[in-house]
Amino acid sequence: MILSENSVLEFVWPWSSLFWIMPIVIRIFKPSENFVRSLRVPFYKRITGLPKSELYEGIKIRTFLFSIIIWSFFVIAAMRPQWVGEPTEIAISGRSVMIAVDLSGSMKEKDLKLNGDSVTRLEIVKSVLRPFIERRKGDRLGLILFGSQAYLQTPLTFDIITLTQMLEESEIGIAGERTAIGNAIGLAIKKMKDLTDEEKVLILLTDGQNTAGEVSPEDAGLSAKNTGIKIHTIGIGADEVWVSTLFGKQKVNPSIELDEFMLKNLSKKTGGTYFRARNKEELERIYEMIDKIEPIEKEKKIFRPRQSLFFWPLGIGVLSVFFILTIFYIKKNIIIKFNNKISKNDNYK
């Protein structure tokens, strides 16, 4: 049944419509009336004195019609009607992208600026990752947070809203104060090695060097290469800042612990690229470059949203049965009271 140009009403189980003839079958094969007990009514003679068409035929027809209508609602519910919305195109890239973010203690260094204010490195990462994640519609994205240990914060998913929320809730130090880069890569390999996706990408962002974990970055990088995972590495942190000391202001390098040599080798071995982010603007350009290196849209699939509607006829049917039972209950009480009144009058006479 087409209700608009592209939207339709469909039934998941149309064969359930066969249940509609069940009352007719029961009616045909019902027990003989000789086996049905009769109700003794003291005022039977008075009732039989009424015209049959008014007493019997009218009730019979109304009961039959109500039964058919109510049963039809239950049959429609059993057919599982659902609303199928208009076709929507979804870009599917066939790519899985895992993002690994460093949450070690050094990420609280305030050597970068956001809107003119000095903020932690993690705040800069969050501010730039948000729009990058939003642009990756069509990719399956996952989030790994690592410090002394690596944790899967969000498994690979198309739900970028949830992933962004989990990123926002991340805090420095929750994974430990040190940096386990090898463990983070190993966890990404574990979650992506069995995927059939044509492209598997890991974006690893850190501001230090490997100081913890059971797996070295070199061994993890070799495993990533054998698994077909491309690693893009990003080293974050300013090259120089001015700090106040006892001898006046001095220039220091807050990124002295950054192991660029190791990050470059990781990317080179796996076919990825190493990027250096010394400020927010450079980090934004890096993610724009990754967008170009890893193009988003590859093919489109048609998705039609479906909404179940069975609860509407089911609810109407249940309420109708409840309403009729209530009416029968009220009528029964009225008949009993009327019966008792007649009996008293007969006894009195």
Q: For residues 26-49, give the mean pLDDT.
A: 56
Asked if the model's pLDDT at residue 53 lies above 60, the reply is no
Strands 140-146 and 95-102: parallel
> Model confidence over 321-341: pLDDT tens digits?
888 778 777 877 776 776 666
Greater confidence (206 vs 55) lies with 206
DSSP 57: I
Most confident segment among 135-144, 174-183, 277-286: 174-183
With a pLDDT cut of 90, the percent of the chain lying above it is 26
User: Given this model, what pLDDT does residue 59 score?
Assistant: 60
Token look-up 């009480």 returns 333
Most confident of 23-37, 40-54, 103-117: 103-117
Give pLDDT, residue 58. Answer: 57
Q: What is the pLDDT of residue 14?
A: 86
Positive or negative: CA dihedral 288, 290, 292, 298: negative
Tell me which of 110 and 248 has the higher pLDDT. 110
What pLDDT is recorded for position 202?
A: 94
Lowest-confidence segment of 28-37, 56-65, 69-78 by average pLDDT? 28-37
Q: What is the pLDDT of residue 2?
A: 40
What are the tens digits of pLDDT across the range 178-201? 999 999 999 999 999 888 766 889
Q: What's the pLDDT at 242?
A: 55
φ/ψ of 12, rounded to 5, equals -70, -40
Q: Are the C-beta atoms of residues 185 and 227 closer than 8 Å to each other?
A: no
Instruction: Give the span between the Cα atoms of 218 and 233, in whole angstroms.
Output: 13
Rounded to 5 degrees, φ, ψ at 76 are -60, -40
pLDDT band at 219 (very low <50, low <70, confident <90, very high): very high
**Token representation of residue 26:** 């029961």
Supply the pLDDT for residue 294: 73
Query: pLDDT band at 100, cuts 50/70/90?
Result: very high
Contacts made by residues 296-300, CB under 8 angstroms, sequence distance 24+: 296/91, 296/93, 296/135, 296/136, 296/137, 296/138, 296/139, 297/91, 297/93, 297/138, 298/91, 298/92, 298/93, 298/94, 298/95, 298/138, 299/91, 299/92, 299/93, 299/94, 300/89, 300/90, 300/91, 300/92
The average confidence (pLDDT) of the chain is: 79
Label residue 35 by pLDDT band (50, 70, 90): very low
Residue 55's pLDDT is 47
Confidence band, pLDDT 50/70/90 cuts, at residue 252 = low
Phi, psi of 171 (to 5 degrees): -135, 150
Q: How many residues does the chain have?
A: 349
Question: What region does 214 belong to: left with phi over 0, alpha with psi -120 to 50, or beta?
Answer: alpha
Q: Which of 150, 167, 273 is nearest to 220 (CA)?
A: 150
Which pLDDT band, with edges at 50, 70 and 90, does 297 fall under?
Answer: low
Label residue 109 by pLDDT band (50, 70, 90).
confident
Q: Say how far apart CA 226 and CA 200 lie, in whole Å.
A: 12
Q: Report long-range pairs for 247-253 (Cβ below 8 Å, ≥24 apart).
A: none
pLDDT > 50? residue 290 = yes
Token duo for residue 93: 């890239």
Question: Within 13 Å of residue 112, how many CA atoms lie on the same side as its CB?
Answer: 26
Q: Which pLDDT does position 3 carry in this prediction?
A: 44
Average pLDDT on 11-20 reads 86
Is 46 a residue whose pLDDT tops 60?
Answer: no
Identify which of 231, 228, 218 has the alpha carbon closest to the alpha carbon of residue 98. Answer: 231
Name the least confident of 142-146, 158-162, 268-272, 327-331.
Answer: 327-331
pLDDT of residue 295: 66
Tokens of 181: 């880069």
CA 327 to the chain's CA centroid: 44
User: Would you say the pTM of this structure is higher than 0.75?
Assistant: no
